Structure formats: structure tokens, C-alpha cells
Structure 1
Amino acid sequence: MLTRALIVVLAILNLGVATWWLLRDEPARAPLPPHPTGVAELRWLPGGTDAAVAAQASAAAPTEALVEREAAPATAVAAAPAPAPAIPPASSKPAEPVAAIAKPALEPVAEKPAAPAATPRCLALGPFADRAAATAAQGRAGTLLSQVRLREQPAASGSARYRVLLPAAANRDDAQATVKRIVAAGLSDYYIISQGEETNAIALGQYRNREGAERRMAAVQAAGFQPRLVASGDAGQWWLEGQLAAAAEPAQAQQRSGAAQQRSLECTRLR
């Protein structure tokens, strides 16, 4: 019984809704905005494919007209000369100075360290029998040695002997003639050597120290003769000392000077 009542109520409600729908007034449509000139109007047409084709055909005409109307102004605009750019009025404010571009400070170039000077080398050349021989060796060494000095190494035992001699004459008669000249000059202590390698040489004295021998030589030279000093026994030896040139070698200096030996020497001893 209840089910039937619900069905009847629903049927009455459906009937009422259908009657309201059929009898209601259509809502007023809002007015469309004014259509702009030259713009194609979009319209909805009922129908299928034929309606779409008809809509495209109707829209083509206004579009072509719009293109024709807009082409003329565009051409006119292109033909018209472009207006000259407006020159801005001169400003009364003074122009701001352009900031100077700061140049980066140049870094000082590091100087290359100077090459270290070569360590000086000094040496002693010898031994030589007398000062004259050492002096001659110095002349032969030439520029290979600098700061040269002659040094006598005294005999250790004290048995040295120094003789003052005149060169050997050609024969005995010449030697006796030289003796007469010596006597006339006021010199004494002389004799003619009669044998050995110094035959006919004239000895003018023998001394145990060099100083005495050199004093005798000075006196003989003052008389007009040219004696020589000869060392014997454990006589002292003469050495040639100096600083070696930078590009020279000790063996080269020894060979040129004619020395029998060469020894290393501290350069401070030359000062």
C-alpha cells in the first residue's frame, strides 16, 4: 500500500516539473556588443558539414574586404617619409665628467739575480833555483797569473851556500884579463875556477845567507860587471805565486812557466 502511494507521488511530481518547463518564459538574452568595423562576425549556424562550409564562405568576403581596406593605408604609410628624429633640447646642467678608468698598477719586474762570480783560484809554481829564474818564469806565464809575487822558501837545515860568479871566459887568458879589471876596480876576494862545469869562471865570494850574497852582487855591478848568484847545498828555493786567470787551468800555467811543480794556494796570502 505504501509503495503504491510513493509511486503516485513521484508521478505527480514529474508531471508538475514537465508542466513548469513547458509553461516557463525564455530568459532575456543580453545585447551583443557592437560589432567592430572591418572584422568578420562569427555566427553559429545549425546543421552539419554544409552549415560549416556556408559559414566559411560567408566569412571569406568580409575578410577579403578587410585586407583590401588595410592595404591602402599600409602603402601610404610606407610611401610617407620617416619623420626626422627629434633633437633633444640642450640641457642646462653641465655634463658629468667621465670617470677615469683606473689602470692597473704595473707589477715591478723581478730582476734576475746576477750569476755568482767565480771563486778565484791561486797557486804557487816552482821551485826555482834563484830569483832570476823565478822572474823569468813570471814573464813566461804572462796573463795566466795576476797579483804575482816572488817568495823564497829558506832552507830548513841552514847549510845553504850562495856564490857570486862572473860568467866563464872563453879561455884562461881571458879569465886572467878579467881578474886584472877586477883588481883595478878595487874588488878583492876572487879566484879563477880551474875545473868542472864552471871552468874559467871567476868566483867573487861564497856566503851562507842571501842578504850577504846580494850585497856582494850590488858592489860588483857598481864596478861594471854582470855577476850571477848561484845557490848550492840546501839553499832556499824560489816560488812564483799568483792568482790564476778565470779561463786558465793550473796545468797550463805550470807548463808555460816551466815550473817543476804547482801547488794550490789560498788567495788571502797574496794580500
Structure 2
Amino acid sequence: MPRHVLVLGGTAEARRLAAALVAHPAHAAGFRVTTSLAGRTARPEAVPGEVRTGGFGGAEGLARWLRAHRVDALVDATHPFAASITAHAARAAAAAGVPAVVLRRPGWRPVPGDRWYDVPSLAAAAEALAGPGGRVFLTTGRLGLAAFAHLTDRHFLVRSVERPDPPLPPHTEVLLARGPFTVDGERELLRAHRIDVLVTKDSGGEATAAKLTAARELGLPVVVVRRPALPAGVTAVPDVTAVLRWLDPVTAGQGCGAADTCP
């Protein structure tokens, strides 16, 4: 029976992991990888291996899918802010008795010269912007922008891969773009739009980190929405290499508990 790994994807790390698993020596000997995409992006980037699209029906539905498709290991490589999916994955893996690990790229950390203001949520970020006037570069994704819709005295430049969901602030300009971005390009964007403050989620990674460097160089404040906490008892690793190390005993049939740290 082929060893089956389910990757909950949608991130660059998930695509790299799928490629690494497809190229893994065990793949030719009966190693199988399936990447699940939520289906929220109309034109997702290609992913090696098998791909399924759409939700599972919560933790219970995912647990049923894990059993029905004889999944041997679950890798949650979703976005660091996909808290509901991560919670459902942890519950489903435990219910189905499937070893699980969370792949989370390291978060961003300030360096000398940064003017960062940490907040726990989008609502708190909107509160941090309270006051008349100002131009805001909002890079928190296309979801959840209703938290800023009541700020009628500010102008927002919203950048996302796809058009954001309403409601939006009344004075909003939408910029559709996909990273990676360069420091030179971000610096020019901030200047051209006369940005006063940057608002971002702590997504981590290099693809969108250039805006932080550009903001530092221009002396701009940055409101950083920090990540939600991971569910208790889950194993988290920072990169694809660490996932492959974690998978070794699983794909060899030795097992590795969801709350264990495997070498």
C-alpha cells in the first residue's frame, strides 16, 4: 500500500514541500502525496503531485477523509493566519490517529531602525490608525478588510493577489499584485503613493519582506498584526527540510505521534 501524505497547502512552502515529496526516493517505491487547496484563489500556482480543491467539512469531515483515503501523515502548510484550518487539522489528525506536523515559516522580527507597533488582530490594527487623515498601505490580504471600513478620514492603498472582499474603507485604491517584491520597487511604491504608515500581518518569509526594509529606510511606522497561537500539543517545524526529517519515520512505517518531536 503506498504511503500517503496529505499536505494542506496554499503557500509557497506547501508547493516546495509537494515538489520535494514527489522527488523523494520513496515516491518511486509507492510514496503518494496529495495537496489540498481551499479554493479561495481563482488561479492558484501549479502544485506537483495530486491536488484536491475545496473544504472537508470541518474537523470531523477531515478526519473522515483521512481514514477513507488511508493517509499516513498530515502536514499543515497553510498560511500562518489560517487559525481555523490549523485547529481543525489538529483535531482531525488526533481523531483519526494520523501523525501530524505544522509547517510554519519563521515570523518577522524588528531590527534597529524599525518603528514597529505590534497588535493582536486586524481590529486592533484599525484602532492603532484612529485619528484624522493619513495615507495607509494595507497589506493584510483580501479578507477581513471590514475591520477598517469605518475609517473614513484615511486613504488606503490595498494590495492583494485578488480583488478584496467588501466592505472596504470608502477611500480605497486597490493594487492587484503577487510577490516576490523588491526593496527598490517597494520604496518607489511608498513614495509614489505618499504613504504615511504600513499595516501588515506577520506572514514571514522573503516574498513580501521587502516592504519592511523600504519602510525602515523611509522612517515609516509599521503596524504588525502578530500571528495567532498554534493549538496546544502540535509539532511545528520551520521549513521543508525539517518536514522531510519528521516524515522519515512515518514513511518508513515506524509512526510518529502528533505531539512528538521526531529527529
TM range (shorter): under 0.3
Question: Relative contact order (alpha carbons < 8 A, sep ≥ 6): 1 or 2 greater?
Answer: 1
Larger Rg belongs to: 1
Structure having the larger proportion of residues in helix? 1
- Provide TM-score, normalisation by structure 2: 0.20
- Provide TM-score, normalisation by structure 1: 0.19
